A = this chain, B = another copy of it.
Amino acid sequence: MSERTAAIVVVGNEILSGKVEEKNAAYLSKELLSLGVTLRCIVVVPDEVPVIAEAVKRLAQEHPVVFTSGGVGPTHDDVTVEGVATAFKRPLVRNAAMEEALNDVYGGNANEHVLSMADIPEGTEIIMGPGLRVPVLRLENVYIFPGIPELFQNKFEAIRDQFRSEPFFLECVYTQLDESSIAQALEHITKECPDVGVGSYPAWDNPHYRVKVTLESKQEPQVQKALALLGELLPPNSTVDPPPNS
């Protein structure tokens, strides 16, 4: 596969038990799409070193870029960094630049629990960016991000241009027909336009439409060809305007 792909490993028992709503994967997926990168896998795992290590190792082999979210604070259940270290068989070593950044954030009062966040895998790159007080950590192709959505977004925005690939083109068509009536047309389009991803999303209870069809590709002419084909294949007057706030 020549496209640039990515995966995210979300770490946290609180997500798996439904106590905290996961928001970073959805944010990241949209950001990556706008950068031309395809998110191919989201995995949520518990706060356990061997499980994190297994997921990171497997996904780092399959994708050019892997993100982790969560598990990077000062408490006993923050074990993501150790999980990433284990995935790459690296020892944890105290990093002076991280120690300085943490002391700065805690006004010189960083205790040993806080400073343990400066114990990072040997060979980790410390990435500073505009507005960041604590850097992003990168080991090989794995970027370590915090779980709190505001911090995840701050950090991603600070370094997002590192991940830019090619742009992506998307067209959406809304119809009052149901999925079974348009299935044949969509099948035809996937055969005629192999470079276009064709999506079909039934609305459960939307007054404006019954199915949203998406056509997307890195090649804009292909998207336009698929859009024209869909217009020809659907019965006259079967599409409707996009719903409000779509």
Contacts and interface: CB of A to CB of B under 8 A. Distances in A.
A77 B199 CA distance: 7
Interface string A144-168: 0000111100000000000000000
Nearest to A25: B44
Copies of this chain in its oligomeric complex:
2
A26 interface: yes
Contacts of A187: 75-76
Q: Is the interface of A mostly helix, strand, loop or mixed?
A: mixed
* A interface bracket (residues with beta carbon within 8 Å of B): 35 or more
A60 interface: no
B43 A76 contact: no
A197 B16 CA distance: 13
Interface of A: 10, 13-22, 25-27, 29-30, 33, 38-46, 51, 73-77, 106, 110-111, 113-114, 148-151, 179-184, 186-187, 190, 197-202, 204-205, 214, 216
